[in-house]
């Protein structure tokens, strides 16, 4: 299952594309921590420690709240400090995939993300984000679990 449901450290590689800036190759690490027990409620914190050539002295943190609302259905909420908006949406999940669609209450922001676990344990994540009806970012990244040494 996707990284929200599998806390740990992940190596992230892939690309981000925006119409104005073009394609950016990304390599970095993300740390996923969860409070609560899925499938009831899961509060997730994702810390982006570095991407590309940038290392952060303070990790870039995003918090998510996931809640089961029906058979293979999940409700999603993210408070975005950078957008000064709350993003809400719904999704569906299976034993190896999660798909989320979301937007802001004022419909200014909208997006979707999908996460699919491969046979080797890595996760392919892709998505698209738009503002005011214009696509501002798409991405496809692979997330590989980092083996922690004892």
What is the SS3 string spanning 99-117?
Answer: EEEEEECCCCEEEEEEEEE
What is the DSSP code (8-state) at residue 149? P
The answer as to whether 14 is a domain residue is yes
Cite the beta strand spans of 6-133 per DSSP E: 8-18, 22-35, 41-51, 54-70, 73-80, 85-93, 97-104, 109-117, 123-131
Q: What pLDDT does 42 receive?
A: 53
Please tell me the total count of domains within the chain. Answer: 1
The answer as to whether 97 is a domain residue is yes
Q: What pLDDT does 71 receive?
A: 85
The model carries a pTM of: 0.77
Please give the residue range of the domain that contains residue 61: 3-145
Name residues whose C-beta falls within 8 Å of residue 82's C-beta, 6 or more positions apart in sequence: none
The answer as to whether 31 is a domain residue is yes
3-state secondary structure of 6: coil
The answer as to whether 55 is a domain residue is yes
We report the CATH number of the domain holding residue 86 as 2.40.128.20
Show pLDDT as tens, one digit a residue, over the chain (150 residues).
444 556 778 888 888 888 888 888 877 777 776 665 544 445 555 555 555 554 444 455 566 777 878 888 888 888 766 677 889 999 998 888 889 999 999 999 999 999 898 999 898 989 999 999 999 989 998 989 887 655
Q: What pLDDT does 40 receive?
A: 47
The answer as to whether 150 is a domain residue is no
């Amino acid at each position: 299952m996707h990284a929200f449901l599998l806390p740990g450290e992940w190596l992230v590689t892939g690309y981000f594309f925006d119409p104005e800036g073009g394609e950016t190759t990304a390599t970095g690490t993300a740390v996923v921590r969860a409070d609560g027990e899925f499938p009831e409620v899961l509060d997730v914190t994702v810390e982006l420690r570095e991407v590309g050539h940038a290392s952060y002295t303070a990790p870039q943190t995003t918090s998510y709240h996931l809640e089961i609302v029906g058979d293979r259905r999940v409700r999603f909420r993210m408070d975005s400090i950078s957008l000064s908006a709350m993003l809400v949406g719904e999704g569906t999940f299976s034993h190896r995939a999660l798909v989320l669609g979301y937007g802001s209450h004022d419909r200014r922001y909208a997006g979707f993300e999908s996460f699919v676990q491969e046979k080797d344990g890595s996760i392919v994540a892709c998505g698209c984000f738009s503002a005011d009806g214009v696509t501002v970012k798409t991405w496809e990244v692979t997330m590989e679990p980092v083996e922690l040494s004892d």
